[in-house]
Amino acid sequence: MLQLRIIAPADRTAAVEEVLNGDPGVTHLVVLPGAARDPANGDVLYCDVVREAASGVLSQLRQLRIDQDGSIMLERVDTMLSAAADRAARQVPGHGADAVVWEEIEHATGEECKLSGAYLTFMIVATAIAGIGVLLDQPILIVGAMVVGPEFGPLAALCVGIVRFRRRLISRALTALLVGFPVGMLGTVLSTWALDWMDLVSKDMLLGERPLTAFIWQPDALSWVVGMLAGVAGMLSLTSAKAGALVGVLISVTTVPAAANAAVALAYGVMNEAAGSALQLVINLAAIAVAGVLTLIVQRLAWRS
């Protein structure tokens, strides 16, 4: 279940009530006349809505311009004991786990693709950790870097923006990706030089046998397969709010490690390995984006049918 808190101008409260009362997926409607101060003398409405009906209800409320002249808050309810809520879930076709609340994922992915100081710091830290993991041939460090890396947020935002035709979201996502990865790689080049100067790492470590991490710079057909599967799982985890599945996605693709390997190879002038790592990075990013877009399109068509 989801809970809606709506602040509506008094002259549109009746229309809002009509939308909420007319949808079988909405229950527990509470109206507080004149409780709002902004907008002046506005009314506050609370209700619970099943996930399957949420996107349709929100769309109707936005047609009434409630989001422009008032506000709409959407909050996830983890536990609800209510016979009325159970009836509402039965009356609406489909399953909540399969429902896509477009406004929810637009907002979530939009927040994740902001080019902020925190985003760039996470990118630098993740890439630097992966760079050390590459030199030490340590999969544990590679996995840690995958989890720390924030790049899936902009990738998801890009997919949502393409499917929803949101140019601003697409622009912000591309900016975050096109700035974040070069900044992370530059930080890794500098950290590699610093560690080499302190005699903690060396070029021989990069050129030596690395059986556990050599796959990072040697892309093949399976790179596309893994990237596509990760894109599907990632979008499903976002639309169904399955955080555990999303963590698995972050660990399954070598975006940050590939960028780190390219940066370390550039730092030591090993251009063939840098090129292979860059190709691996491009393949994974493209595969995730394509699979994510296709997943959202299939979900939209399946839900409409």
pLDDT of 55 reads 83
pLDDT of 249 reads 56
**Every domain of the chain and the residues it spans:** 2-96, 105-304
pLDDT of 251 reads 55
pLDDT of 104 reads 80
The DSSP bridge pattern shows strands 43-49 and 26-32 to be antiparallel
pLDDT, one tens digit for every residue, the chain (305 residues): 889 999 999 889 999 999 998 888 899 999 999 888 888 888 999 999 988 888 888 989 989 999 898 899 988 887 888 898 888 888 887 676 667 787 888 887 877 788 888 999 999 999 999 999 999 988 888 888 888 888 888 998 999 999 988 899 999 999 999 999 999 999 999 999 999 999 998 888 888 888 888 778 888 888 888 888 888 888 888 777 655 445 555 655 678 899 999 999 999 999 998 999 999 999 999 999 999 999 989 888 877 76
pLDDT of 184 reads 94
What is the pTM (predicted TM-score) of this model?
Answer: 0.81
For residue 181, give the nearest of 124, 253, 115, 252 by alpha carbon.
124
pLDDT of 247 reads 54
**Per the structure block, which two tokens stand in for 9?**
């101008």
Spell out the CATH class of 2-96: alpha beta
For residue 135, give the nearest of 285, 260, 272 by alpha carbon.
260
Q: What is the DSSP letter of 76?
A: E
CB 287 within 8 A of CB 227: yes
For residue 290, the SS3 value is helix
